[in-house]
């Protein structure tokens, strides 16, 4: 194992410079989603749309080193993966599943029924989509937590058919913990597919993979670009970029906790961003030593070093209000408040995917089993969107039931508005009913 870098995080004290740095971090996704990657994705999508299973198998063989025949994992393998898990891991997954299910069951939206002033009936009705496709990444790590965080809200929503695509290793085997989590969540169909070809298969359908209505789940740049391209053919949850954490800390924060939390984000991916904004100059000066100590013999040291070198940052502010303003401008995916009074500061924050309150709420509990969903907006998208939820897998329909009295009371206004837009038959459709 190589020696860790001595000072992996840059320290900034000028707020204008900090703002510039945070903007650079927010744009790290667009810096990777250019040119060749987009062209390759478009080629893959077109081939899968035209040639179905053959193209899917060809791309899987080319990129992942095996030919997926058959494409689906057998139901027996799913059950075997679950029963073969060590007891401690099975218990941990079961606890996570129960907590995530309990929280998401409370999210189910209620139908709305309203009686208008003239007796007209108005409403909104929620129904699940028929089929959902979940993408579960492979590559640098296995993510059974992603299975639960996507499958649970889909099942709670009432989706009848949930399928998973997850890349296999060169031996053609999907990580057994991912398969076990799928079994626990009640998913019966898992395909040994990854990358843009998996997204194309779920969006367009093929001989083996059914066309879905919604695709959810994170992935690499090719997966993200593929989801962006098929949106409109299917719904998607979001365009997830690389993960990020922003920690706001004051003098009460434990430097070792802060360092561990920054590294917990950095170990995801070389593009992960880890930011500390603090009112304590001593913490800013000491954080590099704490990080370096924890990097020694870290099993994902090279990934952490790359992320911290390129996308790590420490900002020193005079007060928590300045910290909050910078945080809101960045709109972090994960925001930790390691301060003496986290609740008032949380009330001040407007833009964040998830807020972790106080020293006993490390982001890791949210990643795995706290209950709220860990699929969150990244790269500034928390300004206008939120976590994946039960509603991601549902659609709502408006209900409008006017009676004659209601139409008589409002019909002249409808005609005036239709006429103002030059839509003659709109006005006539009302006038002819009232004459």
Residues annotated as part of the active site: 333-334
- Cβ neighbours of 243 (radius 10 Å): 25
Q: Which of 272, 274, 283, 298 is nearest to 5 (CA)?
A: 298
* Cα atoms in the Cβ-side hemisphere of radius 13 Å centred on 223: 27
Cα torsion 88, 295, 361, 374: sign: negative
Contact 354, 372 (CB under 8 A): yes
* CA 407 – CA 350 distance, rounded (Å): 42
Q: Give exposure, 370-380, as e/b (b: 16+ Cβ within 10 Å).
A: bbbbbbbbbbb
Distance, CA of 251 to CA of 248 (rounded, Å) = 11
**CB crowding 175-184: b at 16 or more within 10 Å, else e:** bbbbbbbbbb
Neighbours of 130 (CB within 10 A): 12
What single string gives the DSSP state of each residue in 46-96? Answer: HHHHHHTHHHHHHHHHHHHSS--SS-BPPHHHHHHHHHTS-HHHHHHHHHH
Residue 284's contacts (CB-CB under 8 Å, 6 or more residues apart) are: 11, 276, 278, 314, 316
* Best CA proximity match to 392, nearest among 131, 234, 214, 224: 214
Structure tokens at 155: 């099942």
């Amino acid at each position: 194992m190589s020696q860790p870098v001595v000072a992996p995080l840059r320290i900034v004290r000028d707020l204008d410079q900090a703002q510039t740095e945070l903007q650079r971090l927010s744009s790290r996704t667009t810096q990777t989603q250019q040119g060749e990657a987009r062209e390759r994705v478009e080629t893959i999508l077109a081939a899968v749309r035209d040639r179905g299973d053959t193209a899917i198998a060809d791309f899987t063989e080319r990129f992942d080193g095996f030919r997926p025949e058959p494409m689906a994992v057998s139901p027996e393998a799913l059950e075997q993966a679950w029963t073969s898990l060590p007891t401690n891991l099975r218990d941990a997954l079961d606890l996570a599943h129960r907590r995530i299910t309990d929280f998401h069951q409370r999210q189910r939206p209620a139908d709305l029924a309203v009686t208008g002033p003239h007796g007209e009936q108005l409403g909104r009705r929620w129904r699940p989509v028929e089929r959902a496709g979940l993408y579960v990444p492979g590559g640098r790590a296995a993510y059974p937590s992603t299975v639960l965080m996507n499958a649970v809200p889909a099942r709670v929503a009432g989706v009848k058919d949930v399928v998973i695509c997850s890349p296999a290793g060169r031996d053609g085997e999907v990580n057994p913990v991912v398969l076990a989590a799928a079994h626990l969540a009640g998913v019966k169909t898992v395909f040994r597919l990854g990358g843009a070809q998996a997204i194309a298969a779920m969006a367009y359908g093929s001989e083996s993979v059914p066309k879905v209505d919604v695709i959810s789940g994170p992935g690499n740049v090719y997966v993200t670009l593929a989801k962006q391209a098929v949106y409109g053919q299917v719904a998607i949850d979001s365009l997830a970029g690389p993960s990020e954490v922003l920690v706001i800390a004051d003098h009460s924060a434990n430097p070792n906790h802060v360092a561990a939390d920054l590294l917990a984000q950095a170990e995801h991916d070389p593009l992960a961003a880890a930011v500390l904004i603090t009112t304590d100059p001593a913490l800013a000066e000491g954080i590099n030593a704490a990080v370096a100590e924890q990097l020694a013999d870290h099993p994902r040291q090279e990934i952490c070093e790359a992320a911290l070198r390129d996308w790590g940052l420490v900002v020193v502010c005079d007060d928590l209000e300045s910290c909050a303003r910078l945080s809101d401008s960045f709109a972090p995916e994960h925001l930790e408040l390691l301060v003496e009074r986290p609740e008032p500061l949380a009330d001040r924050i407007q833009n964040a995917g998830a807020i972790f309150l106080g020293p006993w709420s490390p982001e890791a509990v949210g990643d795995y089993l706290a209950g709220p969903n860990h699929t969150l907006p990244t790269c500034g998208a928390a300004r206008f969107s939120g976590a994946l939820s039960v509603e991601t897998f549902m659609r709502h329909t408006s209900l409008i039931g006017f009676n004659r009295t209601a139409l008589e009371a409002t019909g002249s206004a409808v005609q005036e508005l239709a006429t103002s837009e030059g839509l003659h038959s709109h006005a006539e459709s009302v006038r002819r009913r009232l004459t």
